[in-house]
Amino acid sequence: MAAAVSLLLLVGLLVLAVPVAVFSLQVLAACWPARRPRALPAVRPPVAALVPAHDEARGIASTLQNLLAQLQPGDRLLVVADNCSDDTAARARAEGAEVVERQHEHLRGKGYALAFGVDHLRSAPPMVLVIVDADCELAPGALDALVVACLQADAPAQALYLMQHATPPGLKGRVAEFAWRVKNWVRPRGAARLGLPCALTGTGMAFPWRLIERAELATGSIVEDMQLGIDLALAGHAPVFCEQALVTSHFPDTAAAAASQRTRWEHGHLGMILQRAPGLAVAGLRRADVRLLGLAGDLVVPPLALLVLLLVVLWLAAGAAAWAGMGTLAWLATSGGLAWLACAVGLAWAGWGREVLSLADLVSVPWYVAGKLGIYLRFWSHRQKDWVRTDRE
């Protein structure tokens, strides 16, 4: 009995060791000095900026004005007003954007809107397609930096995408903003330092036209960006991280909208781990492709709160087994893993989180983690599979 319990605990630790090791390595690598960014050319080729929009009348004008300020003569700005019940299309046209409208009773989701927009551009395709969500803003120079990174790598380029709060947030909001920085800034920065690809995050993405026109976009996936990045990596064009291009948007203000958004993201990510990570790892091994293996490693790192929660549960179980006289090896190993993860989180906070999260807040993170238990339990009982627009009112 004791041997079986110890073996089971050690197997659990080995399963969690991979994401803990990947996460820690990414954080450490993010601290390495960056190479000096290449100077942007004086002239870049024409591009098309594609904005999928579903009932975004309230805020789309600001996004389009921001994009128009960075476009050059010969560029196109296309808005896909997808299944809209408001005047999104009219407001986009008023700002000078080219607009196409799509309606379908059953096929709903961002992926369908993207496919519709790409089909519309086929008659006069750009060299590079940039995708920006309808609630985002690009920092000055972000569009040029993103396009140049895409052309230099001949691969998809992902901007640094950060979410902030429009009003001063409470503890949960501050922790969520820190976790977002870790996921979208620290980890892809570390992967880039290691020469590895990053995941696509849904907005601030640039694609060579010859790649995006052949990509499978019309899917109902709730994490179509992550799926697209994996598909392109398997085709030999893994996404690269462009930290010089900053894209920002805001978290939802209401607790219900924030919970809905987190559920969609996290259920989608967990689903991708189960569905795509094994095949991605096998492909990397068969091809001896370090970049595919790196992307597989990045994919298997679950949401940070879940990783902490799983390791704490394993640590408690190992402690109970040790107290019952079933050996202490598993408990010591799990304690070491938990301490290692805590050090990595602390390093990430010291480098990228102090602006949004105080040290006292960091100590309170375990309560935030415990509060997300319901999201993870619902993944097994009532998994979210359908795309739902986040209410940003």
pLDDT digits (tens, 9 = 90+) for 361-389: 887 777 777 777 777 778 777 776 655 55
Q: Which of the residue ranges 143-157, 320-334, 369-383 has the most confident prediction, judged by mean pLDDT?
A: 143-157
pLDDT score, position 392: 54
pLDDT score, position 368: 76
pLDDT score, position 384: 64
* Least confident segment among 215-224, 250-259, 315-324: 250-259
Confidence at 88, pLDDT banded by 50, 70, 90: very high
**Average model confidence (pLDDT) for the chain?**
89
pLDDT score, position 250: 92
pLDDT score, position 390: 57
Q: Give the tens place of pLDDT for each residue, 252-269.
A: 877 677 767 777 778 888
pLDDT score, position 127: 96
pLDDT score, position 3: 64
**Euclidean distance between CA atoms 393 and 387, whole angstroms:** 18
Q: Give the tens place of pLDDT for each residue, 220-241.
A: 777 889 999 999 999 999 999 9
Query: What value does the mean pLDDT take over residues 175-200?
Result: 95
pLDDT score, position 263: 77
Global pTM value: 0.91
Q: Give the tens place of pLDDT for each residue, 336-351.
A: 999 999 999 999 999 9
pLDDT score, position 30: 97
- Which strand ranges, in their side-by-side order, compose the sheet holding 128-131? 98-102, 76-82, 47-53, 128-131, 205-208, 157-164, 240-250, 137-138
∠ CA 228-229-234, nearest 5°, is: 100
pLDDT score, position 254: 72
Confidence at 167, pLDDT banded by 50, 70, 90: confident
pLDDT score, position 341: 94
Structure tokens at 103: 């309606």
Confidence at 41, pLDDT banded by 50, 70, 90: low
Query: What value does the mean pLDDT take over residues 311-318?
Result: 88
